[in-house]
Amino acid sequence: MIFYLDEQHFIDTAFPLDLSLPLTADDANPKAWYVEAPRMEPVRANGFIGSVLEGGAVNFKDIYFNPHGHGTHTESYGHISSEHYPVNAVFEHYFYKASLLSVTPRILENGDRVVFADQLEALLENAFTEAVIIRTLPNIPEKKNANYSGTNPCYFDVGVVDLLDQLDTKHFLVDTPSVDREEDAGVLAFHHAFWRYPEQPRKDRTITELVFVDGTISDGEYVMELQMANFSNDASPSRPLLYQVQEKKG
């Protein structure tokens, strides 16, 4: 379906570019924070079997997973607050102007891989700002199945938040397990700065982690649809979709 953004520009929702990782009940599923693989188990109770393969009438499974540790997910500021503020309370709409950027993290003396604001500033100078999506390089396919636990993955310097504030970016998406260092003694500097917690909480902002941006998708400006499960929780599985902005001919 064609949607016009203005008289000259439109998107075609028949051709989404999916940035999410699927949830699978095996070790191919990405993992972080020392969680085990997700489980999907047929319900077995009072003679009922929730598996057609095992003779049941329907497939009827319990699913056990952790939104933060098992794939693409979106968080609200409730992730770090004492207040129960579920991520499904953030949204009034789901389509946003978005910028996709690729960046090679800097390697510090201690071996940490970190993305800094000055690496993004020039790339974002003329960009859409409602949502910023970061693809870290190298963009290896192993990201889709990695066990990140104990590996100290790439993270983001807190100075990036100042840049996002200047652009009034509300949704920040990354292909890493966290915007902060894996082990930082609970400081979570980026999370706190981005949501301005506890001083002046920005309840209209989200962080999405563990996206995967295929190498065939070019950097640039898009319209993003941020689909989510309607979980009353600080985080929910999510499915960011990009739509190319096209120009009307003639």
Instruction: Tell me how far CA of residue 18 lies from CA of 71, 147, 163, 238, in angstroms.
Output: 13, 21, 26, 11
Radius of gyration of the chain (CA): 19
Q: Return the closest-CA partner of residue 127 out of 21, 223, 221.
A: 221
Task: Say how far apart CA 232 and CA 226 lie, in whole Å.
Answer: 16
Omega prior to 198 cis, within 30 of 0: yes
Q: What is the pLDDT of residue 125?
A: 67
Task: Say how far apart CA 131 and CA 123 lie, in whole Å.
Answer: 14
Q: What angle is formed at CA 71 by the lines to CA 137 and CA 180, rounded to 5 degrees?
A: 60
Omega prior to 86 cis, within 30 of 0: no
If one counts every other C-beta atom within 10 angstroms of the C-beta of residue 145, the result is 14
Residue type, 59: N
Q: What is the pLDDT of residue 249?
A: 81
Q: What is the pLDDT of residue 60?
A: 98
Task: Say how far apart CA 67 and CA 199 lie, in whole Å.
Answer: 27
Judging by DSSP bridges, how do beta strands 17-18 and 131-136 pair with one another? unpaired
pTM of the model: 0.96
Q: What domains does the chain contain, in order, with CATH numbers?
A: 2-24+69-247 (3.50.30.50)
pLDDT along the chain (250 residues), means of 10: 87 97 96 98 97 97 98 98 96 95 97 97 76 97 97 98 94 98 98 96 97 97 96 98 90
Q: What is the pLDDT of residue 248?
A: 85
